[in-house]
Amino acid sequence: MGNNILTPTNLFSKGGVTTSVATTITTGVTPDTKTAWTQLVASTSYDMNVMELFITITNGANSLLLDIGIGAAASEVVVVNNILAAGASQVGHVLRLPLFIPAGTRVSARAQGAMASEQIRVSFTGWFENTAPNGAITETYGADTSDSGGTLIDPGASSNTKGAWTELTAATTVPLKYLILCVGHNEDTTRATGGRFVDIGFGAGGSEVVLVPDIALISSSGTDNVTPLFCGAFAVDVPTGTRLAVRASASFNTSTDREFDVTLIGVTA
Amino acid sequence: MAFYAIYQASDGGLVSLTSVNPTNLRAGLVVLELQAKPADNAMWDASTRTFIPRPAKRVVDLLQVFAGDDTLQTILAKLTAQERQTLANRVLFIAGGKRYVTAQTALDMGIPANRISAALVDKPNGK
């Protein structure tokens, strides 16, 4: 086990050292198709159970789905799939994953974009936290690989009133200890400024129970983003077979401005 | 895959969208079975109790503003059709997602109102 200290630079990608930007992941010439893996680090220096991803959207306007993988070249195994990384303009955000990765692990990333040759920059730092769980399997719910986005959430026609629940998964396949909400701008580059409150819920359709209430988001006509892009990780206790859904309210009800898209990342203990 | 919209019988308000066939719903809720998950460009209409197309967003196409500018038209007229197309492609590349702006943003940019109205287009919804 490593020490309970931050170990930043030796876990950064090589690309970040000389150019002050993280490793560039470019989506393929075919939209909505994952590219080859790009290495972020050849060998992690310590065990880590917290992985903090720094994700920079460089040219904006489109949604991307990012995979993080581990293992030797050409034998990568996905540990986090379809991270919704969307930005209508240049934006940088941090995604903290409670995920255990042992020392000596090669870490890579790949992505797909709604348009060809989109770029995203990715680096990470990791550390071992004695009080943190060693998160293992992650599952992503609500990703739409056909358009590199998430699941559309419509707050509905009444402003400041929670809209309908939209299902992200009919049944979880592993017990979850953490949930992370990933937020997209639904590729709308003419956003109105306004607030939103998001609920994550569980249970059968029509009988949902709020699990995480009132996650505050804001959209900006200046940047056209809906932020924060990542919310959580929320500590939960969701058993296998649970239906998960999301609903939201918005401070305005314009039918062409209120909607946005989301995914959920679930992490086991 | 079938999808189910659960709504309130009283006012048609949508309560939930689910892929699981609902059973034992509480009183006052009604289920509408759909052939598939509603498309992103559809929205619930409480009055008709069904999904309808989401209205198109009216935005200003800056490429049209660019192409319609009197001074630029004089310059563009000196180019070949191929050169104009190449220029248009480069402008689109540079503009990216900022090709479309709201009418208010266009006003803030100093674009005359008549040019804005001439360049209003329906932007495709969502993704």
Q: Are A11 and A44 in contact (CB under 8 A)?
A: yes
Contacts of B35 (CB under 8 A, 6+ apart): B2, B3
Of A149, A170, A221, the CB nearest to B127: A149
| Nearest residue on chain B to A186, alpha-carbon basis | B126
User: Which ipTM value was assigned to this complex?
Assistant: 0.84
**Lowest mean pLDDT across A77-81, B59-63, B90-94:** B90-94
Which of A90, A118, A190 is best to mutate for the B interface (most B CBs within 10 A)?
A190
Residue-level pLDDT at B18: 96
Tokens of B119: 């360049």
Q: Is B6 close to A205, i.e. CB distance below 8 A?
A: yes
Phi and psi dihedrals of B76, rounded to 5?
A: -65, -30
Q: How big is chain B by its Cα radius of gyration, in Å? A: 23
d(CA A62, CA B85): 24
Q: How big is chain A by its Cα radius of gyration, in Å? A: 18
Residue-level pLDDT at A61: 57
Confidence of residue B56 (pLDDT cuts 50, 70, 90): confident
Check pLDDT > 90 for residue B15: yes
Quote the minimal CA–CA distance from B84 to chain A in Å.
23
Q: Are B100 and B56 in contact (CB under 8 A)?
A: no
Average pLDDT rounded to a whole number, residues B89-107: 80
**pLDDT, tens digit only, all 269 positions of chain A:** 444 444 444 444 433 444 567 888 888 888 899 989 999 989 988 888 889 999 988 765 578 999 999 999 999 999 999 999 987 777 788 999 999 999 999 999 999 988 878 888 898 988 888 887 788 889 999 999 999 999 999 999 999 999 999 999 999 999 999 999 999 988 887 888 899 999 999 999 999 999 999 999 999 887 788 889 999 999 999 999 999 999 999 998 888 889 999 999 999 98
Distance, CA of A103 to chain centre: 24
Q: Is B25 close to A206, i.e. CB distance below 8 A?
A: yes
A/B interface, count of CB pairs below 8 Å: 112
d(CA B66, CA B7): 47
State the number of CA atoms in the 13 A half-sphere of A27 facing the CB. Answer: 28
